[in-house]
Amino acid sequence: MQNFRNYYEILEIDGSATSQEVKQAYRRLARRYHPDLNPGDRAAEEKFKSINEAYGVLSDQSKRSEYDRFTRYWKQNGAKRKGARNPKSEYGQYRDFNNFVEELLNRPEPKVRVNDPKEAYRPGTTKTAYTVGASSKTTAERPPRTAPPRTAAPPPSRRRDIEARLTLPLEKAYLGGRERIRLEDGRSLEVEMPAGMTNGQRVRLKGQGIDGGDLYLKITLQPHPFFQLQEEHLFCQIPLTPSEAILGGAIEIPTIDGPVKMNVPNGVKPGQRLRLSNKGYPRGDGTRGDQLVEVQVAIPSDISPQEQELYQQLRLIETFNPREELL
């Protein structure tokens, strides 16, 4: 089986890693190889794509189990036979590893289905459809006025629109750009994706369907380990130390555009939400939503002797009693 990729090695974890360990590894590596931190570094860009692909599989328990079964098959058959296909195996149908991954990531829905062209823009079925590619016009000379000879009826048109599913990392959907897709009929297309794509949105590729029909790409966003997309807003949780929550001040936090400074008010409470204006997801009118930041207070599990002494002094002089109304 050609092109096999070990997702555990890519995320630098072993096969027994928990879901939390998978997420932590992804966050660490995604920050290290993020294109914004490595401008112009193609190797880092390819590494970032591999990390996202690995996380897209290993973060989903059902996909991870399927991948683990495929890995055992590959070690027993594919690696020894240099990609030879075994039709008797449940995985023998795949031409290579990429073919397996494409189906694995798109398994929740059929990758391609035939639609009635009249239903392509049925109200309520899509949010937005983009047309990719230029249209062309044809002209013909005016036919003579003489009656045409009788001929047999032309065969019915076989033109059909089809739909395929494309899964994108949140950063890729946000930025847009070129994306290579593979279709079930073996074709490989490179598409210039618009920026700010959302779940369920469709992109129209004119003339790429069956016999001149159109191809519609239905977009699905991969779960992100830090951000959650809530309509046009990006939601995240930020941990603070007890002193940061009490005293407030400027802290550095991630945004989809890169790190920024955010001012935390003094006395902020766990669960309180702060707002970064215009740091969310693009709207259709050219504006952007906000980034919603939910505060969490993190308690250290290990402190230095000096910190221990200061906390003891604080305990002797503090006046706040959260249990006062209970007594």
Could you report the per-residue pLDDT of 43-98, keeping only the tens digit for each? 888 898 889 888 989 988 888 988 888 888 877 775 554 444 454 456 666 666 77
User: Which tens digit of pLDDT belongs to each residue from 5-47?
Assistant: 899 999 999 989 998 899 899 989 988 888 778 888 888 888 9
Q: What's the pLDDT at 155? A: 59
Kindly tell me if the per-residue pLDDT of 269 is higher than 50.
Answer: yes
Instruction: Outline where DSSP puts E strands in the chain.
Output: 113-115, 129-132, 161-168, 177-182, 188-193, 202-205, 215-221, 228-230, 233-240, 249-253, 260-264, 273-276, 291-297
Per the CB < 8 A criterion, the answer to whether 218 and 164 are in contact is yes
Tell me how far apart the alpha carbons of residues 208 and 248 are, in angstroms, rounded to a whole number. 55
Both tokens assigned to 87: 């039709």
Tell me how far apart the alpha carbons of residues 271 and 296 are, in angstroms, rounded to a whole number. 6
Q: What's the pLDDT at 44? A: 87
Tell me how far apart the alpha carbons of residues 233 and 290 are, in angstroms, rounded to a whole number. 5
Place of tokens 């604080």: 314
Place of tokens 């036919």: 143
Per the CB < 8 A criterion, the answer to whether 171 and 256 are in contact is yes
**Which residues on neighbouring strands pair with residue 202, listed in sequence order?**
129, 218
- H/E stretch holding 97 reads helix 97-105
Q: What's the pLDDT at 130? A: 39
Per the CB < 8 A criterion, the answer to whether 129 and 203 are in contact is yes
Both tokens assigned to 239: 């941990």
* 86 vs 265 pLDDT, higher one: 265
Q: What mean pLDDT do residues 94-120 have?
A: 51
Tell me how far apart the alpha carbons of residues 262 and 274 are, in angstroms, rounded to a whole number. 9
Kindly tell me if the per-residue pLDDT of 242 is higher than 70.
Answer: yes
**Residues contacting residue 10 through CB under 8 Å, at least 6 positions apart:** 50, 51, 53, 54
Place of tokens 């599989």: 57
Given pLDDT bands bounded at 50, 70 and 90, which one contains residue 212? confident
Tell me how far apart the alpha carbons of residues 287 and 33 are, in angstroms, rounded to a whole number. 28
Given pLDDT bands bounded at 50, 70 and 90, which one contains residue 148? low
pTM value surpassing 0.85: no
Tell me how far apart the alpha carbons of residues 74 and 94 are, in angstroms, rounded to a whole number. 11
CA dihedral 151, 153, 154, 157 (to 10 degrees): 170
